[in-house]
Amino acid sequence: MIPPRPRTPTELAELACPRCGAPREAEPRACTKCGHAPRTTAGICDMRVDPNASGETDPLLPGDARGALAAVADGRDYKAVLERLLLELPEARSNRLDLVLRECRGAWLPLVQARGGRALYVGNPLSGTVVGLARTGFRTTVLDLDPQRLALAQARNEWVVPGRCVPLLGGDSARLPFRDRAFDVVVQELGPPEGLAGRGYALAELVRVCAGELALVADNRYGYKRSSGEKSSFRVLRPLEYLRRALRAPRGVRSLAGHRRALRRAGLGADRAFALYPHQSDFAYVASFDARGPHLFIGPKERANRAKMLVHKVGGFPLLAPSFLFLARRDASTARERLQPVLEELARKLDEPLPVIDQLVATRGNTALVQTAVPGRDERDPRGRWTLHVTVSPLQETQARTHFARYQQLQREFPSFPIPTPLHAGTFQSDDQGIGLFLTCERRLPGLTAPQHTGEHAMAEPMYRASAEHLAKLVVAPARPIDEQVWQELFGAKFDLVARYAAVASTLEWLARMRERSREWLLGEPMPRVIYHADLRSKHVQLDAAGRVLGYLDWGSSESSDLPYVDLFHLLVHERKQESGMSTGAAWRLAIGRDKLRPFERAALEDYQQRLGLSDRYCRAIEELYPLFVTAMAEKNWEYSRPRWMHRAFGV
């Protein structure tokens, strides 16, 4: 277990007896009113009424974390401990844990009105929302009933946001172990109905300990889909299952109107309601049900779904949205969202009109992506139309800085290369001056990202043609033969990194075999160096209505001097995967050698090859080694390695 960390009186000053409610001192003495005495369990203050009480352990089973906690107690690096745990768990639980840990679960935090102070988190302590709370200026008390799950969560917190979270064992009493109005913000994430026993605390009890704002994340009793527990995998409920849940919803699962009535009955004076879509366990969009944003983005593919558009047209989205977020206050005042002062400062710095939040996206890269617009202004007027990347996770700040710096480099050295205009990057402090939000701001491009046109070959052909031309411009060093030193730098180092985490015997064998073959194929081959995007998928290409490329987005994983041809090949493989629904491995195998590609796909690769003077031998080697490049980029930029990822993605 984690060794005890000394608690200061400030950290525990909000405590009250969970049995009788009498205020407590910080020292672990018995309650003078009822005799309840706190304990220390696993180095954590234990306020359980029953010392043997236990709660749900999702996504783990009892005992899963025992070895990991022993390793942390022995001084092992938390990142290595987590990677080992993910590898040792059965695949379903490993994937579920990875999903729960994602910090972008807190992508809605820029909408909170409080700008710092004390926060209480009630829910799954492993949730990435806890990191987001601490990251955005709150000293966060994390309450849970399971000692091992809470201890593992605290090890994560000390790794990512050291000193900003206080774990507390408790939750077996109807009364929260805190004084009245102890916290500026209270967050309760109820989780899916099948995953949380007890369904959390009564709203009245949450309101009792809340001095300002309550954030409630909960499912909709009429929601039509659920997360399967795998990333980007959702399940539409069968008719009988849907009716059963709608008619006999678990405690705490209500409709939109039902939640709002319950919030008012609990004494909250004002609330805002949002959809977490597609589902709270794995959402991409935060969309307001009110007239003010952020709004739900509805692309052309969604518009082609007549049933969905009919539901949307008749106002059915609030009724059927799978999950909700409610931000409610004790008073009826309309305090500003914490992002509002940031928008005001940016408007002053850039001398542009003050915009509002138009869209809010939780990205796979654990950032909150905010699209702004100026109400009443024509979309063709670029002023006030920005894209903000807000780093919810401190571990993503490096990527955000790389992203912005690469924009500046491209703008300076390749002015004709299409990218959004970089406008500003910096840290905006919360009321707690020790922490703030680092974000980047760029011009919001018109048009749509390429996935909105997936399958439309009339759009794909000009996109590939332009991409070949544009990417061929990014040469930073002339062609030279690949020698041992260059091979080790650009290939050998990637093999070393990927092999370190591969874990699967067949994957390790593939890496060893391809390592030797790559030397045979590539030593002596002439090759220029280019700026390498490293994650150029169709969602990072912005198109106009005719398929013309308006800009290449999201350069946080990029390299200033690396291999040519990989970016264009990656764009093509990933788009084939998206279009057909095939696996990444199947799309890769289809593209090797180009024989099975469409003429316009083949023409784009050949055009790029000719522009840079690359040999057939070099290009074929890059195609064969493609899984290496994708996995090396991921391993370099992930906060922690995902076990068996290369094997699952490519089948090697």
Task: Specify the pLDDT at position 28.
Answer: 60
Q: Are residues 466 and 415 both part of a single domain?
A: no
In a domain, 199, yes or no: yes
Q: Are residues 600 and 621 both part of a single domain?
A: yes
**pLDDT tens digit sequence for 171-200:** 888 899 999 999 999 999 976 543 334 446
Q: Which two tokens stand for residue 164?
A: 């900003």
Environment class of 63 (CB within 10 Å of its CB; exposed 0-12, middle 13-18, buried 19+): exposed
Find residue 215's DSSP bridge partners: 187, 327
Task: Specify the pLDDT at position 199.
Answer: 47
Q: Are residues 354 and 308 both part of a single domain?
A: no
Could you tell me the pTM of the whole model? 0.91
- Report strand pairing: 210-219 vs 183-189: parallel
Q: Are 540 and 471 in contact (CB under 8 A)?
A: no
Q: Which two tokens stand for residue 378?
A: 């024509």
In a domain, 164, yes or no: yes
Distance in angstroms (rounded) separating the CA atoms of residues 585 and 627: 8
Q: Are 32 and 17 in contact (CB under 8 A)?
A: no
Task: Specify the pLDDT at position 357.
Answer: 95
In a domain, 142, yes or no: yes
In a domain, 89, yes or no: yes
Task: Specify the pLDDT at position 183.
Answer: 95
Domain containing residue 422:
340-443
In a domain, 335, yes or no: no
Task: Specify the pLDDT at position 197.
Answer: 41
- DSSP label of 343: H
Q: Are residues 324 and 234 both part of a single domain?
A: yes
Task: Specify the pLDDT at position 388.
Answer: 96
Q: Are residues 350 and 321 both part of a single domain?
A: no
Q: Which residues, at least 6 apart from 10, have a Cβ–Cβ distance to it below 8 Å? A: none
**Domain of residue 392, CATH code:** 3.30.200.20
H helix intervals, 305-396: 306-313, 317-320, 340-350
- Answer with the one of 411, 443, 475 that is the final residue of a domain: 443
Q: Are residues 281 and 348 both part of a single domain?
A: no
Q: Are residues 423 and 320 both part of a single domain?
A: no
Q: Are residues 399 and 303 both part of a single domain?
A: no
Among 178, 13, 162, residue whose Cα is nearest residue 78: 162
Q: Are residues 547 and 589 both part of a single domain?
A: yes
Q: Which two tokens stand for residue 476?
A: 């930073």
Mean pLDDT per 10-residue interval, the chain, length 652 residues: 40 80 72 86 89 86 92 93 93 90 90 88 94 89 94 95 92 90 92 47 90 92 83 82 83 86 86 88 88 81 70 76 91 77 94 96 86 92 96 85 97 98 86 67 96 92 97 98 97 97 95 97 97 96 94 97 98 95 95 96 98 98 98 93 92 94
Among 554, 366, 342, residue whose Cα is nearest residue 437: 342
Among 7, 84, 77, residue whose Cα is nearest residue 47: 7
Task: Specify the pLDDT at position 567.
Answer: 98
Task: Specify the pLDDT at position 193.
Answer: 43
In a domain, 113, yes or no: yes
